[in-house]
Amino acid sequence: MTAPLLSVEGLSLTIQGTPILRDVALTLAPGETLGLVGESGSGKSMTALAATGLLPRGARMRGAIRLDGTDLTALPERDWLRIRGADVAMIFQEPTLALNPVHTIGAQVAETLRIRGTPRAQARRIARERLDRVGLAGVPADRYPHELSGGQRQRVCIAMAIACRPRLLIADEPTTALDVTTQARILDLLRDLSRDEGMALLLITHDLGVVADMADRVAVMKDGRIVEDGPTAAVLGAPREEYTRDLLAASRPAPRPARTIAPEPVLEARSVTRRYGGFTAVSDVSLTLHRGESLGLVGESGCGKSTLTRALLGLEPVQDGSVHLMGRPGGTAMTRADRARISVVFQDPYGSFDPRWPIRRIVSEPFHLTGRPPDAEARITTALEQVGLSAADLTKYPHEFSGGQRQRIAIARALVTNPDVVVLDEAVSALDVRVRARVLALLADLQDRLGLAYLFISHDLGVVRALCDRVLVMRGGRIVEAGRTADLFDAPETDYTRELIAATPAIPHERPRRMPHDRPALV
Amino acid sequence: MRRALLTRLLSLILSLVAASVVIFVLLQAVPGDPAAFMLGTGAQPDTVAALRADLGLEGSLPVRYLDWIGGMLRGDFGTSYTYRVPVAELVADRVGVSLPLAAYALILTVVIAVPAGLIAASRRGAAADWGVMGATQLGIAVPNFWFAMLLVLLFAVKLRWVSAGGFPGWSDPRAALGALTLPAIALALPQASILARVLRGALIDTMGQDYIRTARAKGLSQRATIVRHALRNAAIPVLTIMGLQFSFLLAGAIIIENVFFLPGLGRLIFQAITQRDLIVVQSVTMLLVFAVIAVTFAVDLAYALADPRLRRR
Amino acid sequence: MMSGRIRLSPAGWIGAALTALFVGAALLSLVWLPHDVGVLDISARNLPPSPAHPLGTDHYGRDMLSMLMAGARTSIAVALLAVGIGLGLGVPLGLLAAARRGSWLDEVVMRGNDLIFAFPSLVIAILITAVFGPSAVNAILAIGIFNIPVFARVARGGALPIWTLDYIMAARVAGKGRALISFQHLLPNITSLLIVQATIQFSLGILAEAALSYVGLGAQPPTASWGRMLADAQTMIYTEPQLAIMPGLAIVAMVLGLNLLGDALRDALDPRLRRMGV
């Protein structure tokens, strides 16, 4: 076995006295890719920051972090400056925030070289070369970050990180903020770079699918500890730990069994078009949702699904076409009584509630449409109990609940008027996988018991498959493909749907490891 | 860029028009007959009529407004009733005191505030930071005219280093600058305190951004990160405050001139108020407002230079 | 913030104590003063501190402590009413502009704000005084008008990011109009911002009132005011410097107290800043 490039031994970390990491041990061989997986708060990002010497103030470390055998934990800042960017480079989750808005991309890439004394002209030449290498050959170096797409920005970050040809690249959730097809291309790029330049990659992610695709070895983290590590195939194929098994099970939810849905339309859109000035956000979209059915609406950011949602909820007018709810006028034409028949659950478990309102007031807000019924209190309690909470929670405030509990409260609020249709707008996208699995099970159960119709909007094909009877694929404001879930996944008709399915990172057992193939490099 | 510039210019002109209407209505329409107002209650009707003709105060309000604006554009600011000379002449004499004073104070403000803000932000939580924050907290609380009095008390009365006031004129630039130094310090100290705090806050905000972490991950030192990445981004809120400060400095200069007996616009305007010389009040106020609006416009343009995202809007 | 108690820093407590001291003195002066400040007694002028006159007397023989207490009353009344004008008009305008972001209404409110910013409060005061003559009421108007755009901006700036949150969307799905949402969701959530800004404007109001009455545009005699006391003392700065120092110290202490309190409130009320403080 070759000597490890990076080895972390017995690393414990506290920040302002709060324990963050406990006895973490990792090794990374030259050129190897290690996937570090865990849910939010597991300590995986702090491990990365420790390895770059960029811990926040108030951090106290014990243990050792060795790069080529040199312990970095006690390194003075002066020596760190030589290592950072040159031997160890890092990219982050939000490419939009990670680039300085007031400098050109060329200058930002060249800066990595300039600070090490590379002459200006040479730095500029290498920067151009590195930009070309990450697939930005067509993009001039004097562009500013705001002029690029999200995927292009992440490529700039990668170019910046590899400018000095580091031996270790730490990528902290590098594709989490990106669309699934963009993610696939960025992952391909990282894999190619690692192979071509012999660069080790520490890939931090919450997504086991990404790890399965990318990593030689995987380490699973929970509550600041490594609970399991080993070769990827071994850990994912035969996990030793209960926690890893849970994580795996939650990461690949079983497809929902086929159900027979009686054709009884509750929500219909007929040739709906929504324009903003000269831009057509939704173009000639028709859809029908039946009672008790789950209809998935899938698409990448900017495809028009949010605009369509707002039109269906009656928050925005449409220019052409019409919306119908239970056969009556829908959209902005809905009566107040009809508005109570359709409700919504949003993505963000933190932004969904007024922080100053107690749960009772939050859950009863939809009664504004109907007038407060005499049995309001009983119905609020019922709604809360339906989602697995209790009447004791009524006087609490949102900040007293976890993300998953908050999403349950949002569902309770959506149920309190006994609606026929619930719009689930990325309702499980912000949740950790195990919580997500439980909320998905709750949604399926509520549907069976209450006969609810769901319009399930998501960018994530995996979860759509777990809940939906039928799926619509949206792109550029249009529905490009529609069909029963199983049919659409097994035999997609359009290239776009095929690309979406192929790009979704998958864990083995389901499909063989995805091979990088000839995608256009420019995102 | 050109379209954005044109929109800004249009909004500049609209602001000036709106401001002139406000000033005009307040000073000429609200008091009723300005000539009668200027002469006071005991005036004879024929004296009032004569003054009205003398000052060009005849005709309907819109006509008089247009006359005033037309005159201002040509450099004719009307005639002072008390001094019997063109207002433009009065102003020309006094601008030479007020404007250099405000500019001197602004320079001092920046010279004091930028290093203080930088030190406080880069040594956050350390003794230097506490020192700067404490001193600026005090600096903000001190009224500039009282600080001016204390300066006079110390340097003119106790130490006898300088004279307590007056202005020798620009024929001797050293003496002129000397006479403006204490007033400029009095004006600058509170403003420098504000600016230092704003700069510190903006820098700390900026230092929390992801791209600062990126820069650090590239291998830039803390200091290089501040200089190369944080300063220019922090400049945006700082510019806003500096724009506002110019108007405070101008207004502050009006008061400070009274402490130091400086023959500037402030003294002119107070004398005009006591003598009910509306023409002087009207034109000088308009000039002050013009200066403030023009500075705001310049700040808007400076934004575009600091932030490429605004350039192509 | 929502249910917990507000925790002030030590500096915040000093600020609260200073503020309470002056507000208490001003309230007390409404019912009792050590000496009547309306009575001039030339024979007792410029006395040094004594048990009868703890801070001595001024050039008209008035008790300095009583003058300072009565001056606090004027300062606080003017600044408080000016803050009231700013809150009462600025906050609804700002919320309205935020609710109709990008519309002509938003545009009109914001341009109107810019216009007021083009008139420093002293210039407004000069204009008002030139026409209506100097008085405390005019000082309140001049400072209050300038407070309107400040609060409008704070309210709009605080409301805009909240408008994009999902709970606003949920309220709209629940059939609530913009006005009701502004009142039920926005106003309570920007209260802490408004409290902090009100403290700042209060302290700026104290400074502005002092400046206006110093140049004779504020409260007129016999109403006692700190700025007026400074103007009177200026002529005697060579012989009686203490007359100029005491009112100035009072202004500094009051403003310092309010600023310390405002900073501490901001840290205590704004969870974002609190997190940054880690």
Q: Over the stretch B83-126, which tens digit does the pLDDT of each residue have?
A: 888 888 888 888 888 889 988 999 999 999 999 999 999 888 88
Partners of A115 on chain B (C-beta within 8 Å) are 218-220, 224
Report the distance separating Cα B70 and Cα B73, nearest Å. Answer: 5
Q: Is residue A317 part of a domain?
A: yes
Percent of all residues in chain C with a pLDDT value above 90, rounded to a whole number: 38
Q: How far is CA B146 from the centre of its chain?
A: 19
Q: Assess B153–C contact: CB distance below 8 Å, yes or no.
A: yes
> What's the domain count of chain C?
1
Dist CA C93 CA C155 (whole Å): 8
Q: Number of residue pairs across A and B with CB atoms under 8 Å?
A: 71
Chain-chain contact of B219 with A92 (C-beta, under 8 angstroms): no
Give per-residue pLDDT as tens, A406-418.
999 999 999 999 9
Hey, is the C-beta of B307 within 8 angstroms of any chain A C-beta? yes
What CA–CA distance (Å, rounded) separates A173 from A44?
A: 10
Token pair 């939650």: residue = A250
The string of DSSP letters for C155-187 reads: HHHHHHHHHTSHHHHHHHHTT--HHHHIIIIIH
**Are B220 and A111 within 8 A, CB to CB?**
yes
Q: Name the more confident of A374 and B306.
A: A374
Residues A324 and A467 occupy one common structural domain: yes
**Residue C107 banded pLDDT, cuts 50, 70, 90:** confident
Q: How is A176-227 classified by DSSP, letter by letter?
A: TTS-HHHHHHHHHHHHHHHHHHT-EEEEEES-HHHHHHH-SEEEEEETTEEE
Q: Look at residue A521 and tell me whether its pLDDT is greater than 50.
A: no
Residue C48 lies in a domain: no
What digits encode the pLDDT tens for the residues C52-84?
A: 778 888 877 788 888 899 899 999 999 999 999
- Classify residue C118: in a domain, yes or no: yes
Chains with 3 or more CB pairs under 8 A to chain C: A, B
- Looking up residue A322, the CATH number of its domain turns out to be 3.40.50.300
Is there a single domain that holds both residue A312 and residue A356? no
Whole-number Cα distances in Å, B27 to A414, B30, B125, C127: 60, 6, 52, 7
pLDDT over 50 at A511, yes or no: no
Minimal CA separation from B157 to chain C, in Å:
7
**Together in a domain, A8 and A49:** yes
Please give, rounded to a whole number of angstroms, the shortest distance from the CA of B154 to a CA of chain A: 44
The distance of A94 to chain B (nearest Cα, Å) reads 8
Which residues from chain A sit within 8 angstroms of residue B307, using beta carbons? 101-102
When pLDDT is cut at 50, 70 and 90, the band that residue C272 belongs to is very low
Which residues of chain C lie closer than 8 angstroms to B281, CB-CB? 126-127, 130
| Structure confidence by residue, pLDDT tens digits, A277-308 | 888 999 999 999 999 999 999 998 889 998 99
Residue C277 has pLDDT above 60, yes or no: no
The answer to the question of residue A520 being in a domain is no
Interchain contact, C172 vs A347, CB within 8 Å: no
Measured between alpha carbons, how far is A280 from A273 in angstroms, rounded to an integer?
7
Whether A514 shows a pLDDT value over 50: the answer reads: no
Query: A172-219: per-residue pLDDT in tens?
Result: 999 988 888 899 999 999 999 999 989 999 999 999 999 999 999 999
Q: How far apart are CA A458 and CA A472, in angstroms?
A: 11
Say how far apart CA A102 and CA B209 lie, in whole Å: 13
CA distance to partner chain A, nearest, from residue B228 (Å): 10
- Read off the pLDDT band of A1 (50, 70, 90): low
Q: Which of A357, A365, A411, A429 to mutate to test the interface with C (most CBs of C within 10 A)?
A: A365
Of A352, A44, A4, A436, which is closest to residue A203 (Cα–Cα)? A44
Question: Are the C-beta atoms of residues A229 and A217 closer than 8 Å to each other?
Answer: yes
Q: Residue C31: which H helix or E strand, with range?
A: helix C10-31
Q: Do B217 and A161 touch (CB under 8 A)?
A: yes
Measure in Å the smallest separation between the Cα of A50 and chain B Cα atoms: 12
- Looking at the predicted structure, is the pLDDT value of residue C276 above 70? no
Q: How far away is chain C from the Cα of A35, in angstroms, using its nearest Cα?
A: 30
Greatest Cα pair distance in chain C: 76
Provide mean pLDDT across the span B44-50: 78
Q: How far apart are CA A137 and CA A165, in angstroms?
A: 19
Who among C3, C173, C185 is closest to A313 (CB)? Answer: C173
- pLDDT band at B5, cuts 50/70/90? confident
CA A389 – CA A346 distance, rounded (Å): 19
pLDDT at A509: 62
Answer yes or no: is pLDDT of A510 > 60.
no
Report whether pLDDT(B36) > 80. Answer: no
Architecture (CATH level 2) of domain B91-312: Orthogonal Bundle (1.10)
Confidence at B165, pLDDT banded by 50, 70, 90? confident
pLDDT-based confidence at residue A133 (cuts at 50, 70, 90): very high
Residue with tokens 């902005």: A332
Could you tell me if residue C251 is inside a domain? yes
User: Residue B167 has what pLDDT?
Assistant: 84
Residue C61 lies in a domain: no
- Closest partner residue to A102 (CB to CB) among B216, B217, B308 is B308
B149 touching C (Cβ < 8 Å) = yes
- Is residue C91 within 8 Å of residue C194, measured between CB atoms? yes
Q: Which of residues 388-447 of A touch C (CB under 8 A)?
A: 397, 399, 410, 413
Scan residues 126-145 of B and list those with Cβ closer than 8 Å to C.
Answer: 137-138, 140-145
A232-254, pLDDT tens digit by residue? 999 998 999 999 999 999 988 88
Q: Which range of residues forms the domain containing residue A387? A: 348-418
Residue B214 distance to chain A (closest CA, Å)? 6
> How far is C-alpha B114 from the geometric centre of its chain's CA atoms?
19
Show residues of chain B in contact with C111, CB under 8 Å. Answer: 11, 14-15
User: Is residue C2 included in any domain, yes or no?
Assistant: no
pLDDT of residue A320 exceeding 60, the answer is: yes
Extract the tokens encoding C215. 């140049």
pLDDT score at A517: 43
What's the pLDDT band for A341 if we cut at 50, 70, 90?
Answer: very high
Interface test with A, best of B129, B205, B218 (most A CBs within 10 A): B218
With respect to residue C51, please indicate whether it lies within any of the assigned structural domains.
no
pLDDT at A469: 95
Distance CA A385, CA A370 (A): 22
Flag if C131 and B30 touch (Cβ within 8 Å).
Answer: yes
Check B217 against A81: CB less than 8 A apart.
Answer: no
Task: Output the pLDDT for position A450.
Answer: 94
Chain C residues touching A367 at Cβ < 8 A: 174
Tally the domains of chain A: 3
Residues of chain A above pLDDT 70, percent = 97
Residues 6+ apart with CB under 8 A from B200: B117, B120, B121, B129, B132, B133
Residue C186 sits in a domain of what CATH number?
1.10.3720.10
The answer to whether residue C215 neighbours chain B at the CB level (below 8 Å) is: yes
pLDDT value for B1: 60
Domain identity same for A329 and A468: yes
- DSSP H/E element including A423: strand A421-425
In this structure, the dihedral spanned by the alpha carbons of residues A138, A139, A142 and A148, taken in order and rounded to 10 degrees, is 170
The CA-atom distances, in angstroms, between C202 and each of A119, A510, C55, C82, C199 are 55, 66, 27, 8, 5
Nearest to C215 among B15, B19, B255 (CB): B255
CA A518 to chain centre: 25
Query: Residue B214 and residue A100: Cβ atoms within 8 Å?
Result: yes
Q: How much of chain B exceeds pLDDT 90, in percent?
A: 21
- Please report the pLDDT score of residue C278 as a whole number: 26
pLDDT tens digit sequence for B246-260:
877 887 888 888 888
Min Cα distance C185 → chain A (Å) is: 7
Same domain, yes or no, for A203 and A222? yes
Q: How far is B308 from chain A (nearest CA, A)?
A: 6
The structure tokens listed for A488 are 């659409």
Q: Is residue C54 part of a domain?
A: no
Domain region containing C246: 10-32+66-276
Which of B191, B249, B273, B289 should be substituted to probe chain C, the one whose Cβ sees the most C Cβ atoms within 10 Å?
B273
* The pLDDT value given to residue C56: 81
Inter-chain residue contact A353 with C167, CB threshold 8 Å: yes
Partner residue opposite A413 with nearest CB, options C170, C184, C189: C170
Tell me which chain A residues have a C-beta less than 8 angstroms from the C-beta of C171.
Answer: 365
| Token pair recorded at residue A93 | 């989750």
Nearest to C166 among A16, A56, A351 (CB): A351
pLDDT over threshold 80, residue C157 = yes
Tell me if A344 and C278 make a contact (CB, 8 A cut-off).
no
Chain B CB contacts of C263 under 8 Å are: 137
Q: Say what the pTM is.
A: 0.84
Of all residues in chain A, the percent with pLDDT exceeding 90 is 73
